[in-house]
Structure 1
């Protein structure tokens, strides 16, 4: 009986290789060693080695397969179902779909339908092959046998990918995915992968159901918990999705750093690089358009300035209800220079739109607003229906504006501008009239999951 080569003689010495059970224990250990090597790769390798990670994992996989070949007869005699499962799980360690892995895992389940781990691995296998319905059936099959965090978090992710067209059904799917993720975290609060999935579930809720800043804070909190776990912290999609969240929190520097971090963990993966490039371009455009006041010619600017009138405040000419206290108070008209960081209570800013800022995403809608003094500020609007933005020349009144000073340097370029964030477009008075409810809407976005 041969037990092959060992990468860790001390650990192997704890396994009783003379017993039939010892064969399965040994093979189980060898499979888990491959997964540990993959998941904790950057504990012993630099980011410069990232490009070699998949090849290094494949090399260890091939070596371990030789050990399986040497011990197949004895292992099959001991526990055929578990052997098929272990070999299928071993082959499933790489990102690509493997037909042999699917066949082995299917055989394992036919022999032992209570083998939860095999159900989960087969679900992963189908997922890699874009067979989402089969994948969902596998994870649900595992849950029927035993409640477990792996099935729960995978169903959370799949519930956001296999979605219906209607808004009501979509919302139900997103909420179901959020509940699955919460259950997974409750089962093991120390599992960073489950926390990462919970962060993604909150982010899907933000885009698909309600663009509430509280939800973005919940996302960041979940991702921060995930980063405490070395396995989760080493996955590029954690940093990628965190970067997306930070981008919509308008924490631009931290978002760029997260996209860059994702690229360090997998230099061959394009989405983080693309996101970083898009955000850099967006910020460069913002700075240029604010500085040049939308690149409008002097005559056009003067025409816009002279057309700013108090009547364009519309409903904000009269007493209005305070956002925070709910009291009816008259708002005081202010200009850009009067705005302070944070909430400007009982103030209203009036100005003219001089340009919109191109954004690869539909959220937020971004434009530059010129006040009567000729000062310019960037305005971002969330929860705005697609195609419902303002246009050059529109007058816009913004009550109790929330302002942020953006000032940071990234890769030797400084970004410095004043940003006004509007959570609900229904607060805006455009050309003297409040926007209507049909101009406010949520959007949908797919959260990315890599198969590592």
Structure 2
């Protein structure tokens, strides 16, 4: 997402103002809520790539929820659910949107729940269908000849651990792709929604690769994708891709 330096500066000032308010009363839920909003807005206006801003926003919202006076604020639940959606904490996101819908039906939180459920159902059906095809062996065999950067250790997805896996590389073949609808955002212009790729690795394991901020045609059907510094918490956060087969 593109934004002016002035916009980013205003948001950073908002973050500092919220932090200053918290120092005056660390138990004030509204100040924590404002900090969460500012961090979430900062995530979007600076390009929607800084994962740490999402985590800062989530922590602020969680602190806001500790204040009983904030229980009547449906936007708190909606915004916190939005952060969890981007972090792909789907169970928490669904619970948050459902709570927001109960407190204020006008927020369209029920619609967000339905969109998320539909997306997860589609991905699950794709995974189940692909796991039964004979095509996997052919796809996996083509990855054996791929030359990886020697500074990275080759690993299949089942060898990765929860969180960031540094210096590991995973070669995969794309099977299918699925575009999602736009997620709820607190600011404009809106970034492109994520693209979900069903991929297969050298051990014939199928999984979903979430890619944000990419054109629909950037990864083609016959492409080879080399994923580096994989994160299982959001499937694969960072990847180098080549639109041509290597």
Q: Deviations over 1:382-413 (max 9, x none)?
A: 4x345464232211011232224xxxxxxxxx
Conserved 8 A contact 2:194-2:210: yes
Equivalent positions of 1:422-441 (< 5 A) are: 422=237, 424=238, 427-431=239-243
Structure-to-structure mapping, 1:344-355, within 5 angstroms: 344-355=165-176
Shift of 1:166: 4.6
Give distance in 2, aligned partners of 1:376 and 1:215.
Answer: 30
TM-aligned CA distance change 1:346 to 1:195, over 3 Å: closer
- Whether 1:368 and 2:216 are equivalent positions in the alignment is no
Gaps of 5+ in 1: 1-164, 321-330, 405-418, 435-452
**Contact kept in structure 2, 1:282 and 1:358, CA below 8 Å:** no
Q: Which has the higher helix share?
A: 1
The ranges of structure 1 where at least 4 consecutive aligned residues each deviate by more than 6 angstroms after the TM superposition are none
Residue 186 (structure 1) aligned with residue 16 (structure 2): no
> Which residue does 2:45 correspond to in 1?
208
Aligned to 1:390: 219
Instruction: Kindly indicate whether the alpha-carbon contact (under 8 Å) linking 2:224 and 2:243 is maintained by their aligned counterparts in 1.
Output: yes
1:281 is aligned to 118
Which runs of structure 2 are paired with 1:164-179 in the superposition (5 Å)? 166-179=3-16
Select which of 217, 229, 237 maps to 2:67.
229
Distance 1:205 1:381 in 2: 20
Partner SS state of residue 236, structure 2 = strand
Matches within 5 A, 1:234-383: 234-266=72-104, 268-293=105-130, 298=134, 304-311=139-146, 313=147, 317-320=148-151, 331-361=152-182, 362-382=192-212
Distance (whole Å) between structure 1 residues aligned to residue 52 and residue 243 of structure 2? 31
Whether contact under 8 Å (1:354, 1:392) holds in the other structure is yes
- Pick closer, same or farther for the CA change 1:386–1:181 going to 2, 3 Å: farther
2:222 matches 1:403: no
Greater relative contact order, per chain length (Cα 8 Å cut-off, separation 6+): 2
Instruction: Report what 2:186 is aligned to.
Output: none
How many residues are aligned here?
235
Does the 8 Å contact 2:219/2:243 carry over to 1?
A: no
The residue number in structure 2 matching 1:408 is none
TM-score, normalising length: structure 1: 0.47
How far does the alpha carbon of each residue in 1:413-442 deviate from its partner, in whole angstroms, 9 at most, with x for none?
A: xxxxxx6221x4xx41425799xxxxxxxx
* Structure 2 residue aligned with 1:70: none
Q: Is the 8 A contact 1:355 1:391 kept in 2?
A: no
State the TM-score, normalizing by the size of structure 2.
0.81
What residue number does 1:83 align with? Answer: none
Q: Go from structure 1 to structure 2 and tell me whether the alpha carbon gap of 1:389 and 1:259 turns closer, same or farther (over 3 Å shift).
A: farther
Larger Rg belongs to = 1
Give the whole-Å Cα distance in 1 for the aligned partners of 2:66 and 2:229.
38
Change over 3 Å in CA distance of 1:343–1:198 after alignment to 2 = closer
- Give the distance between the partners of 1:344 and 1:432, measured in 2 at CA: 26
**How far apart in 1 are the matches of 2:149 and 2:49?**
29
Change in Cα spacing, 1:373 to 1:261, as seen in structure 2 (3 Å) is same
Cα deviation for residue 262 of structure 1 reads: 0.7
Q: Distance in 2 between matches of 1:194 and 1:388?
A: 43
Contact 2:156/2:202 (8 A) holds in 1: yes
Q: Distance in 2 between matches of 1:176 and 1:170?
A: 10
Q: CA 1:366–1:194 in 2, change beyond 3 Å: closer, same or farther? A: same
Q: In structure 2, do the counterparts of structure 1 residues 239 and 370 end up closer, same or farther at CA, with 3 Å as the change threshold?
A: same
Q: Deviations over 1:348-375 (max 9, x none)?
A: 2111111122211234432111123432
Change (3 A) 1:391 1:169: farther
